[in-house]
Amino acid sequence: MQVTMIVNGDEVTREIEARLLLVHFLRDVLGLTGTHWGCDTSNCGTCVVWIDGRPVKSCTVLAAMAGGHEVSTVESLARGGELDPVQRGFMECHGLQCGFCTPGMMMTARALLNENPDPSPDEIREAISGQICRCTGYATIVRSVRWAAAYEAGDQAAADAVAEPEPGSIAEPVAGGAQ
């Protein structure tokens, strides 16, 4: 069957099998390998892309179902050679360790900030609660998103404070953390 959709602003039309999943369409047909493919069961969230601006898990959506819609992948975040503030936040605050979950995390974070420019740490954790970081780097991911929010608000001092917390302070309070 034939499918046509807008991917990162460009219209694409391809002949596909009906059973092709969106994640494989993006990676294998279009070569957009920034979207990662992980657990295959819509648990881990590394395959998150947007359909019409809303994050979805692309391992559980048929490419055919995305026909006629706008799909955005992690490749759309940087524009004109400029990294998105979310991408910069992940750099500044060490939001990635192995990097596998990072594309999905950044797409969810970008969508969150589009709706809520100043999310609390709890709101960030809620937003990414369907995504798994096996390096267990959630604290730095949350800081990365907070950095992006502060940077976008023009509050460089706040962004710096998130990126380089005062010695001895806990930038991201964790209940039951080491004393």
Partner 1 sequence: MQVPAPFEYERATSVEHAIGLLERLGSSARLVAGGHSLLPMMKLRLANFEYLVDINDLRDELGYIRIEPHEIRIGALTRHRELLESDALAAAFPIFRDAEKVIADPVVRNWGTLGGSLCQADPSEDLSAVCTTLDGSCVIRGSGGERVVPMTEFHRGPYETAVGDDEILTEIRFPVRPGGGSAFEKVERRAGDWAVVSAGAAVWLDGDTGGTVADARVGLAAVGPNTTALPAVTAALAGREPSEELYDEAGRIAARDCSPDTDMRGSEEYKRHLAGELTTRALRRSVERARQGRG
Give me the residues that bind partner 1 (CB under 8 A), please: 1, 17-21, 24, 37, 40-43, 45, 48, 51, 54-57, 60-62, 64-65, 67, 108, 126-127, 129-131
Q: Please identify, using beta-carbon distances, which residue of 69 and 94 lies nearer to partner 1.
A: 69
Q: How far is the CB of 161 from partner 1 (least distance, A)?
A: 27
Measured CA to CA, the distance from residue 92 to residue 121 in angstroms comes to 17
Q: Please identify, using beta-carbon distances, which residue of 148 and 159 lies nearer to partner 1.
A: 148
Measured CA to CA, the distance from residue 73 to residue 89 in angstroms comes to 18
Q: How far is the CB of 42 from partner 1 (least distance, A)?
A: 6
Measured CA to CA, the distance from residue 113 to residue 62 in angstroms comes to 27
Q: How far is the CB of 143 from partner 1 (least distance, A)?
A: 20
Q: How far is the CB of 5 from partner 1 (least distance, A)?
A: 13
Q: How far is the CB of 55 from partner 1 (least distance, A)?
A: 5
Measured CA to CA, the distance from residue 169 to residue 26 in angstroms comes to 42
The one-letter amino acid code at 121 reads P
Q: Please identify, using beta-carbon distances, which residue of 20 and 161 lies nearer to partner 1.
A: 20
φ and ψ at residue 7, rounded to 5 degrees: -120, 115
Measured CA to CA, the distance from residue 91 to residue 172 in angstroms comes to 17
Compute the Cα dihedral for 97, 103, 104, 107 and give only its sign: positive
The DSSP call for residue 79 is B
Q: Please identify, using beta-carbon distances, which residue of 52 and 164 lies nearer to partner 1.
A: 52
Q: Please identify, using beta-carbon distances, which residue of 45 and 85 lies nearer to partner 1.
A: 45
The one-letter amino acid code at 165 reads P
